[in-house]
Amino acid sequence: MPRYEFVEGSSAKFWEVEISGASVTTRWGRIGTAGQEKTKDFASADKAQAEYDALLREKTGKGYKESGAAAAPAPAAPRPAPVAPPPAAAAPVQEKAAPREAVASAPGAAQRPPDAVLSDLPPVLASPPWQRKGKRKGPAAALRPLPWEEAMVWAEGEKERWLQAPVAGGHFWIEGRVRFHGRWEELDDAALRLLVGKALADMQYAYASDLASLPARLALAVWEAAPTEMWNYDQLRRFVAMHGLGTLPGLLRYSARYLTEAIQVFLPFRSPRLAPLAAEALVRLKAVRPEARGWLLAHDECAAVGLIPDAVGAAAKRRAAAGVALRFLAANGREELILDVAGRWGEEARAAVRAVLDVDPLDLLPIRLPEMPPFWQPAGFARPLLRGRTAALPLPAVEALGTILAISPLDEPYAGLDQVREACEPASLADFAWDLFTAWLLAGAPPKESWAFQALGHLGDDACARRLAPLVRQWPGEAAHVRAAAGLDVLRAIGTDVALMHLYGIAQKVKFKGLQDKAKEKIAEVAAQRGLTPEDLADRLVPDLGLGADGTLLLDFGPRRFRVGFDESLKPFVRDGEGQRLPDLPKPGKADDAEKAGVAHETWKVLKTEAKALAAQQILRLELAMCSRRRWEPDVFRTFFLEHPLLRHLVRRLVWGAWDAADTRVATFRVTEDGTFADAADEVWELPAQSRVGIVHRLDLPEDLAARWGEVFGDYQILQPFVQLGRGVYAITEEEKGARELRRVAGLTVPTGKVLGLADGHGWRRGPAGEGGGIRWFFKPLPGGEHEICLSFEPGILAGTMMEFPEQTLGTVTIDRAGSWEKGEGHIFGTLDALTFSELVRDLEALR
């Protein structure tokens, strides 16, 4: 059944149609759902064909484009048989052709270039390493543990910080069960652990801090014998700092079941017994890889002592994990240290470890290759092409690519993937990855097969990022929070400026707080890697949409030409050859060059879509920069604002200011049409080299200066992208300065929609759902993140049915500790600076 997709803004829909005799079947819905299906019967096959053709014209006319992914319920073409391992070299992949039916049904098969010959394929696809015989493993060796004196190694001040960790619990439930009327001191350690284990066998929850009231020997016995599942690991730091190395036996026991939690306290322990656990976490537990890497690097010699026996041993999983950890250490300057430690076992051990470090990355394969899922039907996907687009990958090579993707997590892809990316045309790989992702969605997005989603991160491009971002935004509303969070990782992995721009957009504005917070974390990580703040990174992520240096674009019809411009909302428009603004790009006429006009119309369509996705985000970003009094160095301002082909259309519609080193404003100016600067008297003005540039807030403009700027903008008919010169400003009263509650809108009843609109920008977020699922306050984080402004209201907004109560009665506004449920215990309002207070009241007044 042919599949068509429409992705624009937050809309992501599919439509499928099939004709069978005198019946036409259509299926439609949101991408990622099964959708709805309808079959219509006609009097004859001719009438059915006419309906089929009319439906196709209608959908393609509305912007639906044919996709390579076949509908999930439709029977798939048979998969080609796997390539059998050859006796010496790999069998030529082109000899294992797909069945004729599969090739014939593949999207674009008739127009696709011929299949590539074996010699043109990248080696990893021509002769997949997992199909070779005689893989090099090296003989297993049984090495006895080297002697090692275990110790606690604390960084300066670290032990003291752990001892001061917040204490929870204090219920003394453990103490009451294990005191045994003081008779416990008569028991040896083994008997004590046995007795404690029986006494606490049915206990379900406890804090490690509850052990603080017990004598050290009894506390350690409880730690070693009590059920591991009962501990709250947040309290382990204090317990470890109190009892040191004595907690290691219990920690090893706890780690066997709760490694993710236990590794949080590994760092001060210098013990080879922890090395295999750190290696396991490095390989298996993505969330705590930073902790695993930190321990290995901090205790490198100790880690080598604990890892080498496993790295050359017979146990496959332990051998693989230890090898990964040793190679990580070697890559971080510890190769000679590792070989020196191996030499303590003798030259044979040293040679075996040398082989572990020198292993070919292409031979680093999982012990068992994954089975490909039913939705993996590569004959139905867009086919990757070699660079130059002269040949396509044959199906057996695509099968090998599927295996590569299935063993390639986002953060540590299989080494052979680089060969594929180098050999293949990037856009064709992106099309293939999108079809694979779509097939995964239609199959119900099984988490076990999320590699098919992650393939977008490895092979996706700007187009994939644009199509994925709206889905990520809507998934939490469909109870797919985990998938949405994974989508953030995929956008980051795509890593292009467009992908990061969409990631930043989610971090700035999305309905779901959890998703927004995760997006902010991702942006902060990317920014830190580049030595930037998240805001500085955002400055560098704005695409130019293919515009010229003057911010325009020429659309060529041949005899006629049209020039694109942008209004104050970054909405594109066109002017004809005489400069007359037109309502839309006209349709081609008979005298126009049909080919050029077709390209121009497609360019115009894409430009409108991309500008629409960008406009609100960029306008909001500049408004927030104004409200936070953000400043830029002159060269940054010129490069990323004044000379940016798209942002220049916003830049010239605002009043800018120059500030000296003491952050005192020395001038205000605007940017003229020709890119020069002019002051409020409309005189040419030069920006001082040592000044910093920012967007002037109305609160910082004296009345007479604001009036002069208003006249200038009125004379030139300059419309602003957001309210700047006419912005309402509000001052705090003397009574409010000492108050812990602001009552300006208390008791005001407003439509629920207006309250919801607060969280649609400018930093407000919905509060948590309380008892009964009701949200009864919104909050706005203050700079620094320690406090937030909270606005309460009743009867509240139900998380599932937000318009259940059409009106809300507003309560007071308070400044509270971030994340606290106790309201009204924070700062007085006099602690807010004048601009923050003014913007707060402006938000509140907008609710009237």
What are the φ and ψ backbone dihedral angles of 657, each rounded to 5 degrees?
Answer: -130, 160
Predicted pLDDT of residue 30: 66
- Over residues 525-552, mean pLDDT: 91
Instruction: Give the bridge partners for 581, in sequence order.
Output: 575
Predicted pLDDT of residue 94: 33
Token pair of 57 as six digits:
């014209």
Predicted pLDDT of residue 105: 43
**Among 395, 401, 403, CA closest to 365:** 403
Predicted pLDDT of residue 49: 82
Q: Which residue has the higher pLDDT, 288 or 196?
A: 288
- pLDDT for 678-701, tens place per residue? 999 999 999 998 899 999 999 999
Predicted pLDDT of residue 101: 34
Neighbours of 202 (CB within 10 A): 9
> Which range has the worst mean pLDDT, 74-88, 392-406, 802-816, 827-841?
74-88
- pLDDT for 716-765, tens place per residue? 999 999 999 999 999 999 999 999 999 999 999 999 999 998 887 678 88
CATH code at 3-67 = 2.20.140.10
Neighbours of 825 (CB within 10 A): 11
Mean pLDDT of the chain: 85
Asked whether residue 839 carries a pLDDT value surpassing 90, the answer given is yes
- Over residues 61-65, mean pLDDT: 74
pLDDT band of 216, cuts 50, 70, 90: confident
In this structure, are residues 203 and 230 in contact, taking their beta carbons and an 8 Å threshold? yes
Coil, strand or helix at 591: coil
- pLDDT for 555-603, tens place per residue? 999 999 999 999 999 999 999 999 999 999 999 999 999 999 999 999 9
Name residues whose C-beta falls within 8 Å of residue 208's C-beta, 6 or more positions apart in sequence.
Answer: 223, 231, 232, 233, 235, 236, 238, 239
> Which range has the worst mean pLDDT, 326-340, 419-433, 481-495, 788-802?
788-802
- pLDDT for 483-512, tens place per residue? 999 999 999 999 998 899 899 989 988 888
Q: Which residue has the higher pLDDT, 369 or 182?
A: 369
Distance in angstroms (rounded) separating the CA atoms of residues 758 and 25: 44
Asked whether residue 401 carries a pLDDT value surpassing 60, the answer given is yes
- pLDDT for 303-324, tens place per residue? 999 999 999 998 888 999 999 9
Asked whether residue 527 carries a pLDDT value surpassing 80, the answer given is yes
In this structure, are residues 115 and 391 in contact, taking their beta carbons and an 8 Å threshold? yes
Predicted pLDDT of residue 18: 81
> Which range has the worst mean pLDDT, 164-173, 363-372, 401-410, 431-440?
164-173
Q: State which of 148-162, 227-241, 767-781 shows the largest mean pLDDT.
A: 148-162
Name residues whose C-beta falls within 8 Å of residue 710's C-beta, 6 or more positions apart in sequence.
Answer: 725, 726
Asked whether residue 452 carries a pLDDT value surpassing 60, the answer given is yes
Asked whether residue 227 carries a pLDDT value surpassing 90, the answer given is no
Name residues whose C-beta falls within 8 Å of residue 91's C-beta, 6 or more positions apart in sequence.
Answer: 83, 84
Distance in angstroms (rounded) separating the CA atoms of residues 319 and 321: 6
- pLDDT for 144-181, tens place per residue? 999 999 999 999 999 998 888 655 544 445 555 555 54
Predicted pLDDT of residue 691: 93
What are the φ and ψ backbone dihedral angles of 765, each rounded to 5 degrees?
Answer: -135, 155
In this structure, are residues 471 and 480 in contact, taking their beta carbons and an 8 Å threshold? no
Predicted pLDDT of residue 720: 97
pLDDT band of 798, cuts 50, 70, 90: confident
Position 369: which residue type?
A: L
- Over residues 392-402, mean pLDDT: 97
- pLDDT for 65-118, tens place per residue? 776 443 333 333 333 333 333 333 333 333 333 332 333 344 455 577 999 999
Q: Which residue has the higher pLDDT, 240 or 181?
A: 240
Predicted pLDDT of residue 69: 40
Asked whether residue 662 carries a pLDDT value surpassing 50, the answer given is yes
Q: Which residue has the higher pLDDT, 98 or 709?
A: 709
Predicted pLDDT of residue 799: 73
Measure the CA dihedral 243/249/250/255, to 10°.
120
Predicted pLDDT of residue 13: 76
Token pair of 819 as six digits:
């994340």
> Which range has the worst mean pLDDT, 25-34, 349-358, 545-554, 581-590?
25-34
- Over residues 475-479, mean pLDDT: 89
Distance in angstroms (rounded) separating the CA atoms of residues 505 and 616: 10
- pLDDT for 458-469, tens place per residue? 999 999 999 999
Measure the CA dihedral 353/354/355/361, to 10°.
110
pLDDT band of 34, cuts 50, 70, 90: low
Q: Which residue has the higher pLDDT, 760 or 428?
A: 428
**Among 320, 314, 392, CA closest to 143:** 314
Predicted pLDDT of residue 81: 35
Distance in angstroms (rounded) separating the CA atoms of residues 842 and 846: 6
Neighbours of 460 (CB within 10 A): 27
Element (H, E) at 667: strand 665-671
What sign has the CA pseudo-torsion 380, 385, 389, 394?
negative
Predicted pLDDT of residue 511: 81
Q: Decide: residue 530, CB within 10 A, 0-12 exposed, 13-18 middle, 19+ buried.
A: exposed
Name residues whose C-beta falls within 8 Å of residue 161's C-beta, 6 or more positions apart in sequence.
Answer: none
